Structure 1
Amino acid sequence: MYRFFYWHKFRTPEREYKPVVLITGCASGIGLSLAKLFYIDKSYRVCVTAREESLGKLRRSFAEDDRFCILALDVTSSEQRENVVKTLTSKWGSVDILVNNAGISYRSVVEHMSAKDEELQMATNYHGPMELIRLVIPLMRHSGRGKIINVSSVSGMLAMPTMASYSASKYALEGASEALWYELRPFGINVSMIQPGFIKSESFKNVRYSEAAKESESGDEAYSEFYRSMSPFVAELMDYSRTTPNNVAVLVRDVIRTQNPPLWVPATFDAELFYYLRRFVPRRFLHPFLYACLPRVRKWGHRFSHRRPDPPLLKYWWIKFTRLFQ
């Protein structure tokens, strides 16, 4: 849908000036697809980054030259963030386009997340990207142009059970990006959020678990059924999806080529669906509906709680409806 609405704003890459693009998290998934796209696109100077342990994979896949380089970057490391920006400033003079793609995801209910897990989740998905943004803003402001593209998630629009900390990090990134859109617009700098939903990839296998979550999934306690229901549910939805990491990478490239792109850019069918559901369906109806759609949700924690059982679904909605007129 993006190309349908914004084709008239696509900019033909300039021949004399090659914008400098910095992409984080290129070891796999969307980041690796972006690296492949920009490796063959000679109209940009590109720096792809990944953690130190993943650099070998990138260097086997891509040859570095005067317009394509590979650098180590753990977005949680202030030293590495500063080194990457300094290297690009010295090599090419600036950073014109920043794509914050690096991220991690914990599958854990709130009760099972430790302070250490929470800090790593936020450091990777929020604090790291925001610190990179702070480093490149002066460069973009000086040149009078630039694009900051943050890869978020449908979880930044609607939270899911067992993914609270991940959603919190994406909600934070989206809130900051919205404020940045206002703050940077006077300087000619665009800010966009790419919002993928379920993608046909193996990325769900890279989801992290807190220690308590691991024990719960393999055990028999209050949240065990939550994990054993949600993990295959997410895997099945990803398998049904027709969107690949390459599709999202092409969308990111389209946003880069767009003059004055929009702030929010849903990247998958489910992201488009939730985008409009969230805006047009009242929350008092939306959340109970989504709750009822969760797999085996009526069995969740039923042996570990003294709560009264829910009324039948039809009766529940009738109660909700009648309360509107009270």
Structure 2
Amino acid sequence: MSKRWLPLGAIGLSVVLWSMAYVLSGWALATASPAVLSVSRFAIALIVLVPLAARRRHFVRTLRDPRTILLGLTGVTLYYSFANIGLLFTTPGTAALVVSLLPVLTAIAAVVMISERLTRRTLVGLVLATIGVGLVAASGFRFDLGVVLNIVALASYAIYTVLLRRHGDRDDGPDALVLATATGVWGTALMLPWLGWEVAVGSAAVPTDGRGILSILALALIVTAPTLVLFNYGAERVPAAISGVATAAIPALGYGFALLLGEPLDPVKALGGAVALFGVLIATLAQPDVEPSPPGTGLPEPADLAPEVRADDPAR
């Protein structure tokens, strides 16, 4: 039974970490350019992830898989590019509130792309989560270009979440660390032309203050690297709509962090956060079909962690 809840726990922890990213990204963008921020946070994260993933089975094969390229494009390149550019035109708080659309976008993508059937509890949780984040947003939301760009980013991430679920149904799929790392490699590579464009036009800028540098390091090592692996592990094993509903906790958690940092209590926001979290609990805790280890995608046994040494090994 404990293994049955591991995927939900992984998604929950990734959501908690994700809710910290908007403030950290805002601090970094005070002196850094969007492409420098996006590429550097993933490059640093990959310094940690690649040596670990390279020791596991199927890493090279996963890198060569066109489906991994699509995951990198939707879940890394498009999402982080549009989200970070959007932060130049809106506040981190507003960007965090826009995440309220992600559960709806993910549910729609799941129905359209993989004909996923939404259970009654999932629909109830989705409605409550949407109402809750709407209340949170009511006291501090504003519509601007940054909001539009973040909506585009979220639509891309919704597609990525559904693709992860489809990937989890493969009988020969890699484990979560391998898939997350390979996705990050391709997503970072596809962002390099954007970084090159910033350099060419003279808009590239590295952080010049200690807070900006520490923010990028925190984004890379505390947020990006763990979240890539945790969210991939969970999203492969639960219905895509459930993964989407779980993200409704991000605005509520973000507001909770703001309260801890001294922001005055707003009763409407507090009520909205509570309703959103209640919706998340209804959708996730009552979900009976969580798969702790779909065929071919479970974490490998210790014996499988040895480096690949044969160039003609078919697993490569």
Is the structural similarity TM-score above 0.5? Answer: no
Q: Compare the two structures and name the one with the higher helix fraction.
A: 2
User: Which structure has greater strand proportion?
Assistant: 1
Higher relative contact order (CA 8 A, sep 6+): 2
How does the TM-score come out when normalised to structure 2?
A: 0.28
